[in-house]
Amino acid sequence: VKLVEYAEDLGLTVVAAGKGKNNPNRPTDVPEDVAEEAARKGMNPRMLCEFTDGTKTQLEMCALSNATGIPVDVSGMHGPSCTVDELATKLIPAADGGILASTPAVEYTVEGDVAPGIFVVVRSEDPVVTHELDYLKFGTGPYYAVYRPHHLASIEAHLSISEAVLNREADFQTKTWRSEVTAKAKFPLAAGTVLEGMGGHHVHGWTLDADDARELNAIPIGLVQGCVLKRDIAAGETLTYADVEVDETRPLVAMRRLQDALLRTGVIG
């Protein structure tokens, strides 16, 4: 978000924003697949599985989307193999040789050398600024990559706390319902299955445009744990509220129902 704000403050047009994925992207991973690696790293296998099956990245990019208003270009995002040097040639409109059908878009990359960094791909609409960026060896234009080679996660948490306490400013705040992380089946699932949540054996996260998720009546991945399937589900199928029995007594479910009601009435969003 800070990089997006920085680019916008400079008067640059944001074309894409996102991160390099630190772990492999294997949507059908289950905890047993990563147990050995998790033991070496002192991690819970389910947490590591949530990383390698892509759910964590989908959640992070959805949060970025909702905090900035930047949508996904396609469901689940493209997730191309990409290096830092290729950011400004791949994550640009298809009409200019890139992969994006529409811009701006949130994205993530795999392989290459982008991880563990974060990036914003920008374009200058001002010929004077474009000339200056070229002169300053920022790139050859018309697209440029603003790249930070690291994100320090919990080590940086106190910065957000300081902004909230001292400046009364939210460091990262949802401004609009632009995207939703839904639950896609990893394998065929039988009716009667009690679903595990994120990082388990049943589903992985998959980002949809919020309007598409609403039209599909897709259940958010954060609510699926403990739900019981009403019907057989094919591998790769996105789960909907109609597919599951939801425990309406759970506080998280009640909070989501309240959020949906506020969205419907226009109080938020």
pTM attached to this predicted model: 0.95
Q: Which residues are CB-contacts of 181 (< 8 A; sequence separation ≥ 6)?
A: 55, 58, 59, 62, 205, 206, 207, 208, 220, 221, 222
pLDDT at position 259 is 92
Nearest one of 199, 208, 244, 254 to 224, comparing CA atoms: 244
Here the tokens at position 210 are 């919020």
- List C-alpha distances in Å: 80 to 11, 71, 93, 100: 27, 17, 14, 11
Which residue ranges does the chain devote to CATH 3.90.1210.10? 179-264
pLDDT at position 23 is 95
Partners of residue 148 on adjacent β-strands: 118
What does the pLDDT profile of the chain (269 residues) look like in tens digits? Answer: 999 999 999 999 999 999 999 999 999 999 999 999 999 999 999 999 999 999 999 999 999 999 999 999 999 999 999 999 999 999 999 999 999 999 999 999 999 999 999 999 999 989 999 999 999 999 888 999 999 999 898 899 999 899 999 999 887 778 789 999 999 999 999 999 999 999 999 999 999 999 999 999 999 999 999 999 999 999 999 999 999 999 999 999 999 999 999 988 888 77
Pick the CATH number of 179-264 from 3.90.1210.10, 1.10.287.130, 2.70.50.60, 3.30.470.10: 3.90.1210.10
